[in-house]
Amino acid sequence: MFSSVLVVCTANICRSPVAEVILRNTLPGVKVDSAGIDASTGQSVDPTAADYARSNGLSLEGHKAKKFTATIGHQYDLILVMEPFHLEKISHIAPEVRGKTMYLGHWLGKKEIPDPYGKSKESVEFVYELIKKACQSWVEKIIE
């Protein structure tokens, strides 16, 4: 059982905040947060991500981006990343946490979760539905 989960993407303004709120709402008692490999600390969530969350009964209100650091990585039992670049960067920043770092899409066949930033509405919806499915698959494994 994991008591804490960190979700990581690039800027911590699109993918990881959405996954964070989905996991937090479905894993009571589990500490869930998010961070970005290249985040601008304090940046607000992308409006498209906020719209998606709102239309799915979720709130990203008050989310502020934070940058992934080794110190942050040590605070979590499980770190979930979106793509190979994130895994590579985490392995460089904090190699000692590599063993607890996996893809968010692992249970979907290690599927990469592409970055929706600046893409069409259809692309954005596809990515967020993929995030939702990936989160559901992790919830099933974590609760088991």
Mean pLDDT of the chain: 95
pLDDT at 129: 94
Query: pLDDT tens, 43-67?
Result: 999 998 999 899 999 999 999 999 9
The residues carrying an active-site annotation are 9, 15, 115
Task: Using only the alpha carbons of the chain, give its radius of gyration.
Answer: 14
pLDDT at 89 over 90: yes
Measure the CA–CA gap between 137 and 107, rounded to whole angstroms: 6
Quick one: which of 116, 26, 42, 37 has its CA closest to 5?
A: 26
CATH topology for 4-143 is Rossmann fold (3.40.50)
